Structure formats: structure tokens, C-alpha cells
Structure 1
Amino acid sequence: MKAKTVIITGASTGIGRAIAKLFLDRGNNVIMNSASEENLEKTYKEFGSPSNAITVAGDVSNRKVGEKLVRTAIDNFGSIDILINNAGVFQPKPFLDVQEDELDRFISINLKGTYFTSQAAIKRMLEQNGGSIVNIGTVLVDHAIAGFPASAPIVSKGGIHALTQQLAAEFGKDNIRVNTIAPGIIRSPLQGKIGVEDADGLAGLHLLNRIGEPEDIAETAYYLATSNFLTGETINVDGGHVAGHQFG
């Protein structure tokens, strides 16, 4: 396959890191983004400072960051073929305890970040007669857990699921494909950030009785990004979390 130019937000750790590595290993040009410049540079060096990767630090809740990512891709590689909207934040908290600034944070980073970065990318994709966007949502949008209250981040992720279908409908005629991955429990730094000390202890939530690895999401992202006849879909990559439950 001819090398593509890929923008990956939230690319310094966890799922985003695995996606960036996979696309780089397969010979693509990658614009790596993270809100943490320190983490981003560390990951870039761990990758061996590849010549086909460029780092752009910045918080995607600022729409100018998305515009800069697209501009960097064009200036250095001449196109933007794929956008992976992975940057996001997540933190469980009971509904009645959520403050307005907390809700605003999830909506700004998760939903607005995806919205405006996609807007910047699609403007260029229209000029190129095509492109692909892969968003990262969550299975919790359609499969809530009573003991895991997280209404604020889930509302923002639900907006991403809805946005996926709308953009697929609006730009399908322009050969721009938009899909979402809804991960289950994935082994990543996020688990520690939300207070989960033993992620493997949540394996029972999945029919496969194990949690997922970042590479599981990366492989799906690669497939969705390069598939020519798939759009408007939300793919659960969750070890059977949504499909059913273990009993006994």
C-alpha cells in the first residue's frame, strides 16, 4: 500500500502510542500529537526518532491545535489521508457530584477536540477527493455499568458516536469515511489514572475473560482507516463486553 499521511491525537501513551507505532512500522507518515510535550518527545525517541514522524504538542480542545496538525501534515508530506481522533480524558464520578467545570472539561477535550480536529481535516480531504477518520468512543455509551458512574465522560463520548454517523452521511459522497472504535477495558495508563490498580481484575466483564491490549485497538484502527467500503460504523473491540455476560 502506498504510504499514507496520518494524524494521531493522544499519541504519546496507551492506545494512541500503539496506533502510532503500527502506522509507522507499516511505512506511513505520522503526525503525533499529545497535550504533554514531555511524554510526546519521550515516545518519539523511544520509537527511534523516525524521519517519517513529526511531533506536535497541544491540547485538541483548542481548535487551533487541530488546524496546526493538518497544516503540519500538508507542509511536510503534502496530504492528510487519515485522522485518528484518540485524544481524550475519562474519570468516573457519581452524577450528583459532577460540577459544571468538570462536565465542560470532558466535552471540550473529548467532543470538541474530535469535532474541530475533524473539521480541519475534512476541509483538506475534500480538496483531495477522499480520506478516512477513525474516532475513539467507548462501549459504555451503549452498555452502562451501575457500579461505574461516569455520566460526564460518557455523555461526551456519546456525542462522538453520534458525530460519526452524521459525518459519514454528510461526506460519504465525497469519499470521506468516518468510523468509531468503542473499546472495552484496555491495558493502558488510563486505568491507573482512574484509580484501577489491577486492570486484569476487570477481565470478567468480557466474555473472553481477559482485558484488551492497546495493540488490539491499533489493529482495528488500521483496518478501519484503510478499508474502502466501511463508514458510519461503531465497532466494539471489547472481548464480548457488550455481547453478553458471564454467569456462574
Structure 2
Amino acid sequence: MSIGRKVAVITGASQGIGAALVEAYLERGYSVVGTSRSIAPSSNPNLLTIAGDIGDPATGRRVVDEALARFGRIDTLVNNAGIFLAAPFADHTADQYAQVLSTNVNGFFFTTQAAIEAMEKQGSGHVVSITTTLVEHPTAKVPSVLASLSKGGIAAASRSLAIEYATRGIRVNTVSPGIIKTPLHPVETHEFLSALHPVGHMGEIEDIVGAILYLENAPFVTGETLHVDGGQYAGF
């Protein structure tokens, strides 16, 4: 157990934004628990990695329990794991629907429930979840009903949680990205994806990391959706 270090739990931590968040929190002196299906074991005493499907209701509870056993506390949960499937609404299959709801909604619900239970006992904590600006500003160029259904639910639930736990020392916020350069987007799609933003380019992983770290250090901010989307929310 690392006495005196704050602890961050990060889902979807094996690549992209999640992996960058792991490094950012470690650099700031946190102990970190990272989870994803394919995350590699860690030899760093301040980094605990846990492989598992976050859509399984048992995984979130296991991640929180192992975090508490190893480090003794949880100060921050970043719900970063998510699936985005762009397809016409009528073309989505039942399996796709189940997959998106499992990862996006189950992953948020059961992990957040377990983490907030631990945070309430210690009298403090912060939950921040990744949503998408498509929830509030859809575009015909990117059919996104499943994203809006799942991530929109997370945004609404986060505001509700922020109010429910406002007097108990727990803050709950969301970050709403535009399209970010991650391994999910092949280089050949970048020109098209860049044009979906008023600023004319995609976001960088560092933009999202910076937004989450801002919220980490903003004790008077809760129930907020921070748009990091190159102007998409303002209109295009």
C-alpha cells in the first residue's frame, strides 16, 4: 500500500486516451488502477492492472475491491472505456445493441456504483466519464443513435449523481469530446473526420487528458459537461 498517495481508477486503460491517463496520473504522484480486456501486467508498484470485461457487472466491483486491497482508497474514477458503432439506425443488430449497452452503460453503472460506495466511506472522491458531443449535437454525416442512447444516459446520470452526492464530498463530471486522434481512427479517415469540426482538425489525446486533469483540480466544479470538441457543441 502506498501511504499518502491518491488513487485513480481508469477503465479502458490499455491504449489511446486511457493509457495516456494512466501515465498522466502516475506523473502527478497518484497510484493508478488500470483495467481493460487486454491490459498487460505491471511491474510498477504504483500501477495495478486488472484484465477484464468492464461490461460484466462483476468486473467493476472486482476492480474496486482490488484497488482498495492494494492501495487502501479510491480518489478518482475515470470511466473511459467505451464502444462507438456508426451505422444507420435500422441496420444495427441485436448483438451490436447488446455490446454497446454492455460496455458503455453496464461499465459505467457497476464500476461507478462500487467506486462511489468506497468514496462515500472516506468522505471524498471524483468521478469523471467520457461521453461525446454527438449526444447534444448530432450530425447526418455520422449516424450515432447507439452512442447517443448510451453516452447520453451517462451524461444525464452524471448530473443526477452530482446532485445526489454534492454534500458528501463527491464530485461527478463528464468530458464530451469531438473526434480524437486515437488508434480507433485509421489515418485515411482523418481528412473526413477533421472536417466535422469547426476548427478544421481532430483533437489530440492530450486535449482530453488536459480536460480531465483540469476537472481533477477544480473542487468547485460538479455536474459539469466539459466540451472538448473543436467547436462542435457551439454549432456547425
Where on the TM-score scale, by shorter chain, does this alignment land: which range? over 0.9
The 8 Å contact of residues 133 and 179 in structure 1, kept in 2 or not, is answered as yes
Partners of 1:4 and 1:207 in 2: CA distance: 38
Equivalent residue of 2:185, what SS?
A: helix
Once residues 3 and 211 of structure 1 are traced to their aligned partners in structure 2, the CA distance between those partners, rounded to angstroms, is 35
CA contact (8 A) 1:202 1:211 kept: yes
Question: Where do 1:93-104 residues align within 5 Å?
Answer: 93-104=87-98
Show CA shifts across 1:132-188 (max 9, x none).
Answer: 000000000001010211212321111111111111111111111000001101000
If asked which structure has higher relative contact order (CA below 8 Å, sep 6+), I would say 1
Asked if the contact 1:191–1:199 (Cα under 8 Å) also holds between the matched residues in 2, the reply is yes
DSSP 3-state at the match of 1:198: helix
Q: Does 1:18 align with 2:17?
A: no
Letter in 2 for 1:61: G
What CA distance in whole angstroms lies between the structure 2 residues aligned with 1:112 and 1:71? 17
Distance 1:51 1:213 in 2: 29
Q: Which runs of 5+ in 1 are unaligned?
A: none
Query: Is 1:140 aligned with 2:140?
Result: no
Distance 1:119 1:202 in 2: 35
2:74 is the alignment partner of 1:74: no
Tell whether the 8 Å contact from 2:10 to 2:78 is kept in structure 1 after alignment. Answer: yes
Q: Retained in 2: the 8 A contact 1:35–1:59? A: yes
Corresponding residue number in structure 2 for 1:213: 204
Please give the root-mean-square deviation of Cα atoms over the aligned residues, in Å. 1.5
Of 222, 227, 231, the match for 2:222? 231
Partner of 2:31: 29
Secondary structure of the structure 2 residue equivalent to 1:18: helix
Q: Where does the alignment leave 5 or more consecutive residues of structure 2 unmatched?
A: none
Write the deviation string for residues 29-48 of structure 1: whole angstroms up to 9, x where unpaired.
00010112xxx218x5xxxx
1:166-245 matches, cutoff 5 A: 166-192=160-186, 197-245=188-236
Question: Deviation of residue 4 (structure 1)?
Answer: 1.3
* Counterpart in the other structure of 2:40: 41
